[in-house]
């Protein structure tokens, strides 16, 4: 490995040199000034991944960058860069084939790379599936940079990244794209394209289910495969998970978003297997599919190879990032340490010995929330924390909803895979927020394939007469089936019936859309946190349009959500 850095700026004085590391082996617009300023850059970013080396070029034997480039986990002085190089045609993801190749990386203050501020090299090997990461430091805070990779005379697309604000900087505004549950076989990733085109994101959050483990046809769009993934069988081995990640990273819209802004990602269950827990998963057969520990290790290794994510505490994805004095972001891992999901209706959900977070992660989360001195405390949360009772839904909807949530088709009012199944952990966390008078806590959630805007009550049974400890914005799926898909009804018809009944049984729920696919944009100021929800015209159409659906915000100090009638 070699590394040099050129940056005479006073801000960089005394900073550590940039380092490059291999992937570890153990995811209606309202313009503002910054949007307009970055619009031209966004167009250039989008053009890059689409002009990347093609399979035909790789076939010549020249190294090629077929899977795009990415950045992630921005810090005030640095960011993590990622790519995969295909050194020879046979070195496809998961193959274990292909020679070592030196990959050089360059970071510049301008897209023309006239002002290079950091550069270095790292070796891509078959042992890391020819993925590489460069953890670049010594950069300026709150600054746009351009980066690219080269190998054997071939160059990757140029891409934009952005560092976080300085720790105590007075930040007026932050914007984050928010997505979850992007299933390759169920559609195209148009949500990513629309987020990439904005040009105003400080970063984007992926809240889990970046890839899905199912075999072809097992989990598609209303049972129809829009585009087949690889491998065709369910992912079990390290080669399988590498191959699946590789297929996802050929998507042009996903490449475009990775080239437009840094990602902050956490995993949920499908990066491993459905309804994963510490000792297994709902669709893992011990013995026939090997041991769970081996499968979990394989999935974990492939994830850290393919994602621009720093390996965090205990080799998981729980970690914390800070964005100036405006916000910190605590990112949770709710799969590695959890107790097995309880049987619905067993009463075990209230057992204090059962855990979703694990003791160490809960203590880490509570300590971080208590110590935080930022205006907003954001929590990247894979599964919904607000309680959910299905109420008096008709039988025609209760069965499909139960199936979607993984519940018995008898329709008992609980999803034990989310915080509802681990009520002791939820009570402990919400009591901590209440007792410590911790304000402005916002959970950002995926997983459930529906859009929600929730208060998070300390005592749901007496809400709204009792207190709300936090608020929660849940984004719908990018492509994975939601309730109308499970029923086989026209989009919007199921939500029209189900949403009022769900809200009547859950008075802390301000809005739920059970039917549509899309993404969110979180906009933060010192005064409020606002989520703008966008929906896609057709997940199966690669040219799908996006339109604004709803906006909700929580004002500083209130812990309650209110509707806003226009996006930011």
- Each residue's pLDDT tens digit, 259-294: 999 999 999 999 999 999 999 999 999 999 999 999
- Each residue's pLDDT tens digit, 189-246: 999 999 999 999 999 999 999 999 999 999 999 999 999 999 999 999 999 999 999 9
Q: Looking at residue 311, what is its pLDDT? A: 85
Cβ-Cβ contacts under 8 Å for 303 (sequence gap 6 or more): 27, 241, 245, 267, 271, 309
Cβ-Cβ contacts under 8 Å for 31 (sequence gap 6 or more): none
Give percent above pLDDT 70 in the chain: 85
Closest to 171 (Cα-Cα) out of 320, 322, 37, 324: 324
Cβ-Cβ contacts under 8 Å for 201 (sequence gap 6 or more): 175, 176, 177, 195, 260, 261, 521
Task: State mean pLDDT over 412-433.
Answer: 88
CA dist list (Å): 506 to 464, 510, 511: 10, 9, 10
Tokens representing residue 490 in the block: 């026209």
Cβ-Cβ contacts under 8 Å for 95 (sequence gap 6 or more): 126, 239
Domain assignments of the chain as residue spans, ordered by start: 2-26+28-162, 174-564
The shares of helix, strand and coil residues in the chain, as percent rounded to the nearest 5, are 25, 25, 50
Contact present, 437 and 465 (Cβ < 8 Å): no
Q: How big is the chain, counted in residues?
A: 568
Q: Looking at residue 60, what is its pLDDT? A: 58
Query: How does the average pLDDT of the chain come out, rounded?
Result: 88
Q: Which CATH class name applies to 174-564?
A: alpha beta
Contact present, 233 and 134 (Cβ < 8 Å): no
Closest to 256 (Cα-Cα) out of 537, 50, 396, 543: 50
pLDDT: is 131 or 403 the higher one?
A: 131
Whether residue 431 has pLDDT greater than 50: yes
Q: Looking at residue 398, what is its pLDDT? A: 60
CATH code: domain 2-26+28-162 is: 2.60.40.380
Beta strand segments in 98-230, E: 101-108, 116-124, 131-136, 144-151, 154-155, 159-162, 174-179, 203-206
Pairwise CA distance, residues 218 & 283, whole Å: 12
Say what the pTM is: 0.89
Pairwise CA distance, residues 197 & 475, whole Å: 19
Dihedral angle of Cα 42, 48, 49, 53, to the nearest 10 degrees: 180
- Each residue's pLDDT tens digit, 88-138: 999 999 999 999 999 999 999 999 999 999 999 999 999 999 999 999 999
User: How confident is residue 167, by pLDDT bands cut at 50, 70 and 90?
Assistant: very high
Contact present, 213 and 506 (Cβ < 8 Å): no
Whether residue 44 has pLDDT greater than 60: no
């Amino acid at each position: 490995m070699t590394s040099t850095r050129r940056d005479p700026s006073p801000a960089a004085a005394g900073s550590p040199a940039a380092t490059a590391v291999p992937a570890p082996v153990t995811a209606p617009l309202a313009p503002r000034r910054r949007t307009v300023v970055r619009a031209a850059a966004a167009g250039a970013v989008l053009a890059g991944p689409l002009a990347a080396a093609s399979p035909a070029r790789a076939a010549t034997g020249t190294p090629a960058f077929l899977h795009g480039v990415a950045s992630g986990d921005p810090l005030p002085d640095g960011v993590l860069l990622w790519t995969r190089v295909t050194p020879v045609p046979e070195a496809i993801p998961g193959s274990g084939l292909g020679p070592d190749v030196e990959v050089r990386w360059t970071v510049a203050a301008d897209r023309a790379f006239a002002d290079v501020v950091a550069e270095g090299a790292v070796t891509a090997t078959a042992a890391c599936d020819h993925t590489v990461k460069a953890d670049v430091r010594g950069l300026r805070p709150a600054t746009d940079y351009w980066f690219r990779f080269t190998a054997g005379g071939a160059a990757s697309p140029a891409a934009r990244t952005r560092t976080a604000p300085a720790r105590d900087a007075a930040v007026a505004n932050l914007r984050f794209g928010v997505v979850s549950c992007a299933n390759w076989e169920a559609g195209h990733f148009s949500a990513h394209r629309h987020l990439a085109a904005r040009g105003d994101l400080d970063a984007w959050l992926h809240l889990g289910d970046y890839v899905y483990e199912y075999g072809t046809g097992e989990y598609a769009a209303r049972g129809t495969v829009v585009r087949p993934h690889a491998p065709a069988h369910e992912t079990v081995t390290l080669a399988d998970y590498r191959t699946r990640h590789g297929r996802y990273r050929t998507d042009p819209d996903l490449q475009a978003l990775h080239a437009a802004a840094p990602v902050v990602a956490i995993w949920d269950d499908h990066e491993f297997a459905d309804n994963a827990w510490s000792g297994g998963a709902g669709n893992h057969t011990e013995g026939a599919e090997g041991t769970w520990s081996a499968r979990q290790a394989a999935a974990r290794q492939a994830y850290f190879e393919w994602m621009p994510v720093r390996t965090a505490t205990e080799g998981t994805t729980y970690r914390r990032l800070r964005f100036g004095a405006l916000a910190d972001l605590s990112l949770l891992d709710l799969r590695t340490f959890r107790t097995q999901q309880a049987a619905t209706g067993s009463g075990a959900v209230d057992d204090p010995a059962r855990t979703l977070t694990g003791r160490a992660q809960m203590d880490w989360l509570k300590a971080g929330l208590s110590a935080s001195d930022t205006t907003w405390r954001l929590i990247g949360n894979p599964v919904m924390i607000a309680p959910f009772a299905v109420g008096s839904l008709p039988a025609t909807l209760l069965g499909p909803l139960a199936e979607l949530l993984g519940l018995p088709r008898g329709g008992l009012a609980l999803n034990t895979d989310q915080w509802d199944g681990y009520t002791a952990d939820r009570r402990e966390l919400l009591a901590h927020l209440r007792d410590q008078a911790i304000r402005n806590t916002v959970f950002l959630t995926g997983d459930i394939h529906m859009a929600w805007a929730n208060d998070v009550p300390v005592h749901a049974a007496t809400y709204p007469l009792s207190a709300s400890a936090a608020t929660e914005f849940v984004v719908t799926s990018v492509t994975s089936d939601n309730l109308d898909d499970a029923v086989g009804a026209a989009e919007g018809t199921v939500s029209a019936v189900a949403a009022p009944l769900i809200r009547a049984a859950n008075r802390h729920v301000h809005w739920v859309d059970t039917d549509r696919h899309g993404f969110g944009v979180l906009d933060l100021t010192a005064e409020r946190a606002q989520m703008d929800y966008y929906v896609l015209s057709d997940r199966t159409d690669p040219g799908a349009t996006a339109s604004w659906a709803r906006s909700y915000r929580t004002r500083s100090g209130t812990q309650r959500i209110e509707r806003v009638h226009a996006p930011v």
